[in-house]
Amino acid sequence: MGRYLKNIWQTIVTMLIGMGVTSGHLFRARRGNVTLQYPEERWPQPQRDIGFDHDRYNVIRSKLHVDIDDCIGCYQCERACPVACIKIETVKVPKGTDIGTTSNDTKKRMLVTRFDIDMSECCFCNLCTYPCPEDCIYMTGGPNSHKQPLDYEYSTYNRDDLIFRFADLEPEVVERLTKPPLEQEI
Amino acid sequence: MTMDWLIDWTLSSWLGFLGSPGAFILAAVVGGLAIFGLVAVHAIVAVYVERKVSAFMQDRIGPMGQGPGLHAGKWGVLQTVADALKLLLKEDIIPALADRRLFILAPFILFMGAFIGFVAIPFAPALVLADFNVGLFYILAVSSFGVLGLILAGWASNNKWSLYGAMRSAAQIISYEIPAAISLLAVVILAGTLNLQSLTAAQQGTILGFLPNWFIFQNPFTFMAFFIYFIAAVAETNRTPFDIPEAESELVAGFHTEYSGMRWAFFFLSEYANMFIVCAVAAVVFLGGWTSPLGELLSGPLWGLFWFMVKVIFLVLIMMWFRWTFPRLRVDQLMNVSWKVLLPWSFINLLGSALWWLWRS
């Protein structure tokens, strides 16, 4: 009988303790909540400097980016890609047409009319970035992260939106530049 | 009471041509729609509040979208409205091997058990649809009607989980109705009536000048009876920590495993309607119903409705508090609590209350 009464008493006490705990959480809900309201709030970007030498390693492989103004259309990255997720098309310009130079002062000879990277296929191996003679294709978050803000989510509603199209030449511009130089002057 | 008033009004107005059967039917339809409106609004608001309360207790923030202006909206206030619309539009699936007729019937029986209990609840001094002399008995009787719907749902689903859930709920509800009813009897002895309006009226005034003259404060036995009744009421509504009929981790969803769409919504609606009913009974019998806690201050027909709703909502919130605090009981523990703890103590209460009444008179 004593044990029976003691059990009841302990049940009541522990119930009240438990209800105290939950009501405590209820009334400091605003302070203690752990929910991140995702589209409005985001986690801070991960700390990039974690002790690696940034000249040699891409610490975070977030997304491939191409500085299309520096691209000379050499196809080296497309050939290096093990999953063939890079598609490049180029057009040759006639001799004597000046289409500018890259940041490394290399004369450009090709018009890059298409430079598509399908990031849904990319395996983030980083192999395309090493052969690039102009350092114009790189993983964001790596050594070139100062060039491009880190976008670690790039979520889309449509899988096709994961194909990033970097070529920015208008068809009319391509048509004008590929005409023989004599015709261009007219 | 309100029902009689509605019939008289119908007969004396331009609707008099309906005659007395027509007036009765009209009054029943109006009263029924009013109750259904209350049940639906209560369910929608209570589900929202429950989700918010549970979220806050677990350091989350609960639904935040769906408000006016959708995602940028305020605190998800329209979340349950959106859920209700979704449930209305969902496909109605009946398993091929289910007992089709019983499967369709079960949620309505369960809902009806909760729904017709509202008829006898005194919301305010003059606001009770039908003023029975045996109102308390009536509510106890029709609320145990719902267990029939529960068992039918479990049986008709032709599913092990459903059947186990139904069996468990039958055992549970039958066990817990006894302490609940005996605890209420402790008050009935003191008041000498089963009429809910007279029970409420007997609690007007104050004790010792400051305590409201509610039955919970009238003697130590009724004080204890309130807690026994409330625990048993939580068990009768199949809510955590007594939710073994629908224990998610064991029985998926128990008796409503096979239900979807609107039929499932009816189970939910009747759960919240049942919550309202048991809390209303607790409020009327122990907490003074529509009487004001401040004595004569702030009492009147509209204040009566206000105080009644405040008490009921307070008790509903306590049930939610229970749900998000306590873990589920095992089946044997559940039976243990009912038969070895609540029942003997409710008998002691009954005896003590009777002796108290003898001593006072």
Task: Please state the domain extents for chain B.
Answer: 21-89, 98-360
Mean pLDDT of B122-151: 84
Q: Which CATH architecture has domain A64-178?
A: 2-Layer Sandwich (3.30)
How high is the pLDDT of residue A16? 92
Residue boundaries of the structural domains of chain A: 64-178
Q: What average pLDDT does range A116-129 have in this prediction?
A: 87
Chain A partners within 8 Å of B326 (Cβ): 15, 18
* Dist CA B160 CA B255 (whole Å): 9
Name the band, by pLDDT with cuts 50, 70 and 90, for residue A148. low
Rounded-to-integer distance, Cα B148 and Cα B264, Å: 16
Contact (CB<8Å) B61/A29: yes
Which residues between 69 and 98 in chain B have a beta carbon less than 8 angstroms from any beta carbon of chain A? 71-72
Interchain proximity A33–B325, CB inside 8 Å? no
pLDDT above 50: residue B46? yes
Nearest to B57 among A8, A15, A25 (CB): A25
**Per-residue pLDDT at B242:** 85
**In 3D, which of B58, B115, B124 has the Cα closest to residue B269?**
B115
Please answer whether residues A67 and A149 qualify as being in contact, where contact means their C-beta atoms are separated by less than 8 angstroms.
Answer: no
pLDDT of B72:
45
Indicate yes or no: CB of B61 within 8 angstroms of CB of A21.
no
CB spacing of A34 vs B326 below 8 angstroms: no
- The percent of residues in chain A predicted with pLDDT above 70, rounded, is 76
Hey, is the C-beta of A20 within 8 angstroms of any chain B C-beta?
Answer: no
For residue range B264-317, list pLDDT tens digits in order: 888 888 889 888 999 999 999 888 888 887 767 777 778 888 888 899 999 999
SS3 A58: coil
Report the residue of chain B nearest A28, measured CA to CA.
Answer: B56
The predicted model scores a pTM of 0.77
Helices (H), A128-169: none
The answer to whether the CB atoms of B71 and A39 lie below 8 A apart is: yes
